């Protein structure tokens, strides 16, 4: 019988992992979703990676999902003299200007955001290059923001700028983001990770672009990367299909000691809502250069799983690192070990108000624990029935039988869910027969194992799940 991890792995694909052969190896070692970071690369590169990934899936027989991660709205430094970094000394005065004709030096630099001086006030903090350079705002003069540097550091051109606790009026989508979303629709991606989501309307704007370009079934994973995103988390979650706990920029925007509590809060709320959650950034960061992770990194991955995350993500480890295959293998081993320790019904107070589909999911999960079932099989068109079941952290794996390829691709991201496409069942009895047959075919059960199967009388009609059957596997 197959031994499967429940927690899913998202791998960022870059130059070192884009070949068909390497992608096949990543799939075989535990990758579930390919992430393409649209902050880097061009359409030709990303298109080639999608083509290679689909070929790798076809040749291995392993299903995976494709996630397009947008660059998002951002503020960056502009041109410096001769393109060279400049040295900033602690205590020195330094000026940011919105006059984009300025060529920067060690006293001033232009920024890409035209409302920079309008949004800031005296006493605010400006962070450059992931917080490596910190400056205090001491004066606003027209289109200039005059600061005092807190520390020594080098300032380069095109470096990111963060403004902690400042509500910036950047658009939710840049022109590049809109074109990237259109490209994603044309190439049938499964997920969009929308960067720097600050409020619910940002998500609605992303969904509008997707719908206008034939991508209405693409799921939106909102990346929470600022205090404003945390403040508006509940409304963002309601509009999103899932959340990415984007700890990189979040750890710059809010005090680093607050990030663990924010992570736990977001994962808990996603679990209760039945929406997917990815924990990301620096999970096995040292494996970019080293063949083994630090103990702290191994604990970080384990603790995200114990928090209840659906997926853990690798960034530079697989995009540009020396040991991409080893990183996935380490993550896979940690997931298998820790998954087995999570008790069922982990999230308290999941259900406030029952509807039939949710009540059937809760009942099925309960029965599976009482009977020590090896597998729960759900019929689902949209994926909701499987995600409802996943909320209860059952010990049994969840086999989601669907008639929709897109739904199957998206369910690879949900914890403990194994998607399987079969559009043939038309009645409940036909579904129950196929449930047992598929479980055997996939080597998920053995003789005399218990399967809990659940579906609706109208098979694959969203929101109709109302039936449960206990099946004992026969040879």
Phi, psi of 439 (to 5 degrees): -60, -40
108 is catalytic: no
* Separation of CA 160 from chain center: 21
Task: Give yes or no: 387 in active site.
Answer: no
Give yes or no: 76 in active site: yes
Cβ-proximal residues to 416 (8 Å cutoff; 6+ apart), any chain: 6, 339, 390, 393, 394, 397, 398
- Asked if 366 and 331 count as a contact pair (C-beta separation under 8 A), the reply is no
Catalytic residue among 54, 71, 76, 182: 76
* CA distances to 43, 124, 158, 286, 469 from 78, in Å: 24, 21, 5, 30, 63
Which DSSP symbol is given to 359? H
* Contact indicator for 56, 23 with CB cutoff of 8 Å: yes
Question: Which of the residues 24, 29, 35, 387 is marked catalytic?
Answer: 35
Q: One of 108, 159, 223, 387 is an active-site residue; which one?
A: 223
SS3 of 11, please? strand
Residue 244's nearest CA partner among 284, 193, 296 is: 193
- Token pair for residue 137? 């705002």
CA distance 461 to 380: 8
Give yes or no: 35 in active site: yes
Inter-axis angle of helices 324-339 and 295-307, nearest 10: 50
> Exactly one of 281, 309, 357, 358 is catalytic; which is it?
281
Distance CA 386, CA 404 (A): 13
Write out the DSSP string of 284-308: TGGGGT-SS--HHHHHHHHHHHHHT
Active site residues: 35, 76, 223, 281
């Amino acid at each position: 019988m197959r031994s499967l991890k429940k927690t899913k792995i998202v791998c960022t694909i870059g130059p070192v992992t884009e070949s068909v052969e390497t992608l096949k190896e990543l799939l075989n070692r535990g990758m579930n979703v390919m992430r393409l970071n649209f902050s880097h690369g061009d359409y030709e590169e990303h298109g080639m990676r999608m083509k290679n990934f689909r070929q790798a899936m076809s040749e291995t027989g392993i299903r995976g999902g494709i996630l397009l991660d947008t660059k998002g709205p951002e503020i960056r430094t502009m041109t410096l003299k001769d393109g060279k970094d400049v040295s900033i000394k602690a205590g020195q005065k330094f000026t940011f200007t919105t006059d984009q004709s300025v060529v920067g030096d060690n006293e001033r630099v232009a920024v890409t955001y035209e409302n920079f001086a309008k949004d800031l006030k005296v006493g605010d903090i400006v962070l450059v290059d992931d917080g490596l350079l910190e400056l205090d705002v001491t004066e606003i003069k027209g289109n200039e923001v005059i600061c005092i540097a807190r520390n020594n550091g080098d300032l380069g051109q095109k470096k990111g700028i963060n403004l902690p606790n400042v509500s910036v009026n950047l658009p939710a989508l840049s022109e590049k983001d809109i074109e990237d979303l259109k490209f994603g629709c044309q190439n049938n991606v499964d997920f969009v990770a929308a960067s720097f989501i600050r409020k619910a309307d940002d998500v609605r704007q992303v969904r509008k672009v997707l719908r206008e370009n034939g991508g209405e079934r693409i799921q939106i994973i909102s990346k929470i990367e600022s205090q404003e995103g945390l403040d508006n988390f509940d409304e963002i979650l309601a509009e999103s299909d899932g959340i990415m706990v984007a700890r990189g920029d979040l750890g710059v925007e809010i005090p680093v000691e607050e990030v663990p509590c924010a992570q736990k809060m977001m994962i808990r709320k996603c679990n209760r809502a039945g929406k997917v959650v990815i924990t990301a950034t620096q999970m096995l960061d040292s494996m970019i250069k080293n063949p083994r992770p630090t103990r702290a990194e191994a604990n970080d991955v384990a603790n995200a799983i114990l928090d209840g995350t659906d997926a853990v993500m690798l960034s530079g480890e697989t995009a540009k690192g020396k040991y991409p295959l080893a990183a996935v293998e380490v993550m896979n081993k940690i997931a298998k070990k820790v998954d087995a320790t999570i008790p069922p019904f982990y999230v308290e107070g999941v259900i406030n108000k029952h509807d039939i589909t949710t009540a059937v999911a809760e009942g099925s999960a309960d029965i599976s624990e009482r009977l020590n079932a090896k597998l729960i099989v759900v019929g689902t068109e949209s994926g909701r029935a499987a995600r409802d079941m996943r909320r209860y952290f059952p010990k049994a794996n969840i086999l989601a039988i669907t008639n929709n390829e897109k739904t199957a691709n998206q369910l690879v991201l949900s914890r403990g869910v194994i998607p399987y496409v079969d559009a043939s069942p038309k009645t409940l009895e036909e579904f129950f027969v196929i449930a047992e047959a598929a479980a055997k075919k996939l080597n998920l059960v053995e003789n005399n194992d218990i399967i809990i199967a659940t579906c609706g009388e109208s098979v694959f009609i969203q929101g109709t799940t109302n039936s449960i059957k206990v099946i004992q596997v026969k040879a």
